[in-house]
Amino acid sequence: MQIGMVGLGKMGGNMAERLRRGGHEVVGYDRDPAVSDVSSLRELVDRLQAPRAVWVMVPAGEPTQLTVNELGELLDEGDLVIDGGNSHYVDDQRHAEELKAHGIGFVDCGVSGGVWGLQNGYALMCGGDKASVERLMPVFETLKPEGEDGFVHAGDVGAGHFAKMVHNGIEYGMMQAYAEGWELLEASDIVKDVRGSFSSWRTGTVIRSWLLDLLVRALDDDEHLDELKGYAQDSGEGRWTVQAAVDHAVPLPVITAALYARFASRQDDSPAMKMVAALRNQFGGHAVTSAAGSTEKGADSPGADVTPPREAQ
Contact 76, 50 (CB under 8 A): yes
Let me know if residue 102 belongs to a domain.
yes
Average pLDDT of span 57-81: 96
What confidence score (pLDDT) does residue 262 get? 84
Looking at the structure, tell me whether residues 242 and 291 fall in a common domain. Answer: no
Give the dihedral of Cα atoms 151, 176, 246, 268; nearest 10 deg.
Answer: -130
The per-residue pLDDT for range 72-122, each reduced to its tens digit, is 999 999 999 999 999 999 999 999 999 999 999 999 999 998 888 999 999
What is the band of 277 on the pLDDT scale with cuts at 50, 70, 90? confident
What's the 3-state SS for the chain?
Answer: CEEEEECCCHHHHHHHHHHHHCCCEEEEECCCCCCCCCCCHHHHHHHCCCCCEEEECCCCCHHHHHHHHHHHHHCCCCCEEEECCCCCHHHHHHHHHHHHCCCCEEEEEEEECHHHHHHHCCEEEEECCHHHHHHCHHHHHHHCCCCCCCEEEEECCCHHHHHHHHHHHHHHHHHHHHHHHHHHHHHCCCCCCHHHHHHHCCCCCCCCCHHHHHHHHHHHHCCCCCCCCCCCCCCCHHHHHHHHHHHCCCCCHHHHHHHHHHHHHCCCCCHHHHHHHHHHHHHHCCCEECCCCCEECCCCCCCCCCCCCCCCC
Residue 310 lies in a domain: no
Catalytic residue among 10, 144, 164, 192: 164
Percentage of the chain modeled with pLDDT above 90? 72
List phi, psi (to 5°) of 68. Answer: -65, -40
User: In this structure, are residues 34 and 47 in contact, taking their beta carbons and an 8 Å threshold?
Assistant: no
Predicted local confidence at residue 272, as pLDDT:
67
pLDDT of 141 reads 98
Q: Do 121 and 179 belong together in one domain?
A: no
| Average pLDDT, integer, range 165-178 | 92
pLDDT at 312: 45
Q: Which of 155, 165, 156 is nearest to 112 (CA)?
A: 165
Average pLDDT in the chain: 89
**Confidence label for 306 from pLDDT (cuts 50, 70 and 90):** very low
Say whether pLDDT at 313 is over 80.
no
Domain identity same for 110 and 173 = no
Task: Specify if 302 maps to a domain.
Answer: no
Residue 62: CATH number of its domain: 3.40.50.720
Q: Beta-carbon neighbour count of residue 11 at 10 Å?
A: 21
The residue that leads in pLDDT, 307 or 147, is 147
Q: Is the pLDDT of residue 298 over 70?
A: no
Give the residue from 108, 106, 113, 107 showing the smallest Cα distance to 144.
113
Do 135 and 174 lie in a common domain?
A: no
Co-location of 230 and 260 in the same domain: yes
How far apart are alpha carbons 4 and 18 in whole angstroms? Answer: 14
Say if 77 falls within a structural domain.
yes
pLDDT, tens only, 1-14: 999 999 999 899 99
Q: Is 229 a catalytic residue?
A: no
Same domain assignment for residues 116 and 229: no
pLDDT over threshold 50, residue 194: yes
Q: Are residues 103 and 72 in the same domain?
A: yes
- Residue 33 sits in the same domain as residue 117: yes
Query: How many CB atoms sit inside 10 A of residue 116's CB?
Result: 12
260 with 275, same domain: the answer is no
Residues 35 and 135 in one domain: yes
Q: What is the CA angle 150-154-158, rounded to 5?
A: 120
Return the CATH number at 216. 1.10.1040.10
- The answer, yes or no, to whether the previous bond of 51 is cis (omega within 30 of 0) is yes
Q: Which domain holds residue 289?
A: 268-296
List, for residues 31-51, the tens digit of each pLDDT value: 999 999 999 999 999 999 999
Q: Around Cβ 57, how many Cβ atoms within 10 Å?
A: 27
Q: Mark whether 17 and 40 lie in a shared domain.
A: yes
Residue 227 is predicted with a pLDDT of 83
Mean pLDDT computed over 147-171: 95
